[in-house]
Amino acid sequence: MDAVNDSTLELTSFLVGDLLCGIENSRIREISNIRTITPVHHAPPEVCGVVNLRGQIMTVIDMGLRFGRQPVQTSRQTRILVVNDGQEDIGLMVDAVEDVVSASREELEPPPSNVAGTSGHLFQSILKIQEDLISIIELDRLLKIN
């Protein structure tokens, strides 16, 4: 992790609609511009399809649909966060990447049971920064798609 010590956390924050989220930097392999996504028939609705990222085929998940919200609208700000799920990389399509945030783990608070209309079980904690709240994703739960 890019942390000074175990009590410090570095997050990449991003938008899914109007929901500000974060993932620990140690879980993000890279951030990619949007690319051609090939649909996969009979996949769950939140699976956009697959992309070829430097010769590796990678599944892409629409984070809007994964959160039970509107799908991510492709724009110049749309990005794919590449995360690793054990044996494979998975892309998370988001509306925009915002910033890298450092915080003390002591600043984290448990998430409410319902965050902005989204099932709270996908979030591990909430971080208050200035006027904003960053919902920190529980990545292992998020990547389990039935």
Tens of pLDDT, residue by residue over 95-130, are: 999 999 999 989 999 887 665 555 667 888 999 988
State residue 74's pLDDT score. Answer: 92
3 found inside a domain = no
Residue 2 lies in a domain: no
CA distance 133 to 60: 26
- The CATH code of the domain that includes 95 is 2.40.50.180
Tokens of 62: 């629409």
C-alpha torsion sign, points 6, 8, 12, 17: positive
Query: Domains in the chain: how many in total?
Result: 1
In a domain, 50, yes or no: yes
Nearest to 62 by CA among 53, 12, 51: 51
Q: Which domain holds residue 75?
A: 8-142
> Quick check: is 1 in a domain?
no
pLDDT at 1: 41
CA 110 to chain centre: 18
Q: What stretches in the chain show pLDDT beneath 70?
A: 1-5, 113-120, 146
Token pair for 96: 């925009």
- The residues that bridge with 142 in the sheet, in sequence order, are none
In a domain, 81, yes or no: yes
Query: Using the 8-state DSSP alphabet, how is residue 25 labeled?
Result: G
The predicted structure's pLDDT at residue 3: 40
What's residue 114's pLDDT? 60
Closest to 35 in 3D by CA, of 74, 71, 72: 74
**Contact assessment for residue 47 and residue 37, using Cβ atoms and an 8 Å cutoff:** no
Whether residue 23 contacts residue 136, with contact meaning beta carbons closer than 8 Å, is answered with yes
8 A C-beta contact, residue 63 and residue 79: no
Q: Look at strands 19-24 and 28-33 and give their pairing.
A: unpaired
The answer to the question of residue 108 being in a domain is yes
| pTM flag (> 0.85) | yes
